[in-house]
């Protein structure tokens, strides 16, 4: 039997109704109204509890105690508001509001399963107020229209990401993850494999402005840039014409040119005014070589995109390199992915990538920062705008949404938002999403770990979800500090005992 939980009161609108109830429904619970021969679905977005006996006119706690002693159980009521989500068949907002007095009925499991059914969707959890109703996301809409996973630290972001990746593996998905902190090194997925790449790049693939960045040569140092460019072109020319000695580092060829230039200046009769400039470039290039030796070690380094494994999670481990190098690697890889997918889709000659790919960027607010220029920011924005046409999906993950580029975020049509408390984060996300209503925004600070607001084209209606637990080997969980301290203490005690036994055995 359908449960009637209340009735509409006051003035109603096509998008919102007020109601009263003698029962105790929950915020986020789905309900429906029947009027004009339609079943109209809604979600409870706010609740207030009151008593006609204990109204706000009573100011004395002792008076309240006396009333409770006399009256016993008080006559409570629930008053709330419902956001209208649309009619059951097409999820279109009705053109006329519900009549006051219309029954508010609880949406049963069967109705919700019908609403949330997604053929070939991926299951990420269940309806928050109905654990028996699974939530499935439309993969085509999620990948082609992009995704953002946003949350404060410790809200369940890593678990949510892992669940989605594992579900995509079950659908033969190909994913590349830019792992800023090398957290994915030990993760194991239930539904598929993983391939990890060491962060490196062919030094010949770097543009001159990227060498400038890595060598920390400022834009104002035009003479330093000139000599750096000369050295770069010299090294490239030797390699292109097979004149470079075997096993010689690309940067060493650049340094060879600079050293030769410096020696020529020093042999001149008059001191050359650019001698110090060349010395500065040599110093900066040597420092760059030291810092990024593993990153730029060989011109034989294959492109990351050449090594992507189809149907696996491909992890680019970036924990060992700094932000400058990370920016360059992500920029190069994403640019190459988009270029190859364009070639494949348009039938152009050149390098190809034969299958769609989902690009996951951890700590996206670092690479696509609001108000700060990076190499990656441009290509991330471009994929957000164009990627759907070529089968390049984007997933931006951030624990600081207000620091994430608003232009890129506004191009992301799907969001999974876990707990967000900071008002700046909330308002930044709301400005970037048409689907995040004021009512849903109010729920974000009160979400528990693993609870999320899911919205966008990948789900039929905005949904409050309990994300399921990742079944593989997880990442991102908090350390048990007390346990770690105890383990360190025990290790120290064992080492001391072994040392004492050794001393006793030696008779020292």
Q: What integer pLDDT is reported at residue 300 of this predicted model?
A: 65
Residue where one domain finishes, among candidates 254, 269, 291: 291
333 and 426 within one domain: yes
Residues 120/57, Cβ–Cβ less than 8 Å:
no
Tokens read off for 14: 């096509």
Q: Judging by beta carbons within 10 Å of its beta carbon (0-12, 13-18, 19+), is residue 266 exposed, middle or buried?
A: exposed
| Distance from C-alpha of 489 to C-alpha of 213, rounded to nearest angstrom | 45
Q: Judging by beta carbons within 10 Å of its beta carbon (0-12, 13-18, 19+), is residue 377 exposed, middle or buried?
A: buried
Residue where one domain finishes, among candidates 107, 140, 170: 107
Residue 336 in this model has a pLDDT that exceeds 60: yes
Q: What is the mean pLDDT of residues 119-144?
A: 93
- For residue 185, what is the DSSP state? G
Q: What is the mean pLDDT of residues 114-126?
A: 89
Element (H, E) at 178: strand 175-179
Longest pairwise C-alpha distance within the chain: 110
Q: What is the mean pLDDT of residues 118-145?
A: 93
Residue where one domain finishes, among candidates 291, 316, 346: 291
462 and 386 within one domain: yes
Q: How far is CA 339 from CA 158, 349, 361, in A?
A: 30, 11, 18
| Distance from C-alpha of 409 to C-alpha of 58, rounded to nearest angstrom | 49
Residue 161 in this model has a pLDDT that exceeds 60: yes
Residue 247 in this model has a pLDDT that exceeds 60: yes
Q: What does the H/E/C string look like for 364-407?
A: HHHHCECCCCCHHHHHHHHHHHHHHHHCEEEEEEECCHHHECHH
Q: Judging by beta carbons within 10 Å of its beta carbon (0-12, 13-18, 19+), is residue 183 exposed, middle or buried?
A: middle
Q: Which residue has the higher pLDDT, 7 or 50?
A: 7
Which structural domain range is residue 505 located in?
483-508
453 and 398 within one domain: yes
355 and 215 within one domain: no
32 and 100 within one domain: yes
* Collapsed DSSP state (helix, strand, coil) of residue 94: coil
317 and 422 within one domain: yes
140 located within any domain: yes
Indicate which CATH number applies to the domain containing 422. 3.40.50.300
119 located within any domain: no
Residue 261 in this model has a pLDDT that exceeds 70: yes
* Collapsed DSSP state (helix, strand, coil) of residue 193: coil
431 located within any domain: yes
Tokens read off for 207: 């543009």
Q: What integer pLDDT is reported at residue 57 of this predicted model?
A: 72
DSSP 291-348: HTTTTT--TTPPPGGGGPPTTSEEEEE-TTS-HHHHHHHHHHHHHHHHHHHHHHHHT-
118 located within any domain: no
125 located within any domain: no
437 and 333 within one domain: yes
| Distance from C-alpha of 317 to C-alpha of 54, rounded to nearest angstrom | 61
Q: Mean of the per-residue pLDDT values for the chain? A: 89
296 located within any domain: no
Tokens read off for 196: 């990890």
499 and 444 within one domain: no
pLDDT band at 73 (very low <50, low <70, confident <90, very high): low
| Distance from C-alpha of 463 to C-alpha of 6, rounded to nearest angstrom | 22
315 and 422 within one domain: yes
346 and 266 within one domain: no
DSSP 55-93: -TT---HHHHHHHHHHH-S--EEEEEEEEEEEETTT-PP
pLDDT tens across 458-505, in order?
Answer: 998 888 999 999 988 766 556 677 787 888 888 888 888 888 777 777
Q: Judging by beta carbons within 10 Å of its beta carbon (0-12, 13-18, 19+), is residue 373 exposed, middle or buried?
A: exposed
306 and 382 within one domain: yes
Instruction: Compute the half-sphere exposure of residue 486: CA atoms within 13 Å on the CB side of its CA.
Output: 5
Cα 104–109–110 angle (5° rounding)?
Answer: 100
347 located within any domain: yes
Residues 98/8, Cβ–Cβ less than 8 Å:
yes
214 and 154 within one domain: no
Q: How many domains does the chain have?
A: 4
250 located within any domain: yes
Q: What integer pLDDT is reported at residue 345 of this predicted model?
A: 93
Residues 23/5, Cβ–Cβ less than 8 Å:
yes
pLDDT tens across 392-432, in order?
Answer: 999 999 999 999 999 999 999 999 999 999 999 998 988 88
């Amino acid at each position: 039997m359908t449960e009637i939980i209340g009735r509409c009161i006051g003035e109603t609108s096509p998008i919102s109704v007020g109601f009263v109830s003698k029962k105790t429904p929950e915020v986020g619970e789905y309900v429906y109204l029947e009027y004009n021969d339609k079943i109209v679905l809604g979600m409870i977005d706010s609740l207030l509890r009151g008593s006609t006996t204990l109204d706000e006119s009573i100011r004395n706690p002792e008076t309240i105690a006396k009333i409770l002693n006399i009256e016993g159980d008080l006559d409570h009521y629930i008053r709330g508001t419902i956001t209208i989500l649309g009619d059951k068949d097409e999820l279109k907002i009705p053109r006329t509001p519900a009549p006051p007095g219309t029954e508010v009925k609880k949406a049963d499991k069967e109705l919700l399963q019908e609403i949330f059914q997604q053929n070939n969707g991926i299951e990420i959890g269940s309806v928050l107020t109905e654990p028996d109703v699974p939530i499935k996301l439309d993969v085509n809409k999620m990948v082609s229209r992009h995704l953002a996973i946003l949350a404060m630290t410790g809200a369940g972001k890593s678990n949510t990401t892992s669940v989605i990746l594992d579900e995509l593996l079950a659908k033969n998905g190909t994913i590349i993850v830019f792992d800023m902190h090398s957290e994915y090194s030990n993760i194991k997925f239930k539904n598929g494999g993983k391939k990890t790449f060491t962060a490196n790049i062919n030094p010949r693939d770097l543009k001159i402005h990227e060498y400038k960045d890595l060598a920390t040569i400022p834009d104002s140092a035009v003479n330093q840039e000139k000599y750096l460019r000369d050295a770069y072109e010299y090294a490239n020319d030797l390699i292109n014409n097979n004149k470079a000695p075997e096993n010689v580092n690309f940067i060493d060829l650049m340094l060879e040119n600079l050293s030769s230039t410096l020696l020529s200046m020093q042999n001149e009769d008059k001191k050359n005014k650019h001698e110090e400039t060349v010395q500065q470039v040599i110093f900066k290039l040597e420092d760059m070589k030291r810092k990024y030796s593993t990153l730029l070690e060989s011109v034989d380094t294959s492109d990351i995109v050449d090594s992507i494994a189809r149907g696996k999670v491909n992890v680019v481990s970036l924990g060992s390199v700094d932000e400058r190098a990370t920016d360059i690697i992500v920029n190069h890889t994403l640019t190459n992915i988009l270029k190859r997918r364009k070639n494949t889709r348009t039938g152009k000659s050149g390098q190809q990538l034969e299958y769609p790919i989902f690009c996951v960027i951890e700590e996206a607010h670092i690479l696509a920062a609001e108000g700060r220029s990076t190499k990656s920011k441009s290509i991330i924005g471009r994929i957000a705008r164009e990627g759907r046409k070529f089968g390049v999906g984007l997933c931006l993950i951030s624990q600081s949404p207000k620091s994430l580029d608003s232009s890129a975020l506004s191009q992301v049509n799907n969001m999974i938002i876990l707990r967000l408390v900071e008002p700046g984060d909330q308002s930044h996300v709301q400005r970037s999403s048409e689907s995040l209503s004021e009512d849903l925004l109010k729920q974000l600070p009160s979400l528990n770990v693993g609870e999320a607001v899911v919205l966008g084209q990948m789900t039929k209606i905005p949904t409050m979800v309990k994300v399921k637990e990742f079944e593989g080997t997880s990442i991102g969980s908090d350390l048990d500090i007390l346990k770690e301290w105890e383990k360190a203490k025990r290790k120290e005690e064992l080492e001391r005992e072994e040392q004492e036994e050794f001393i006793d055995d030696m008779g020292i």
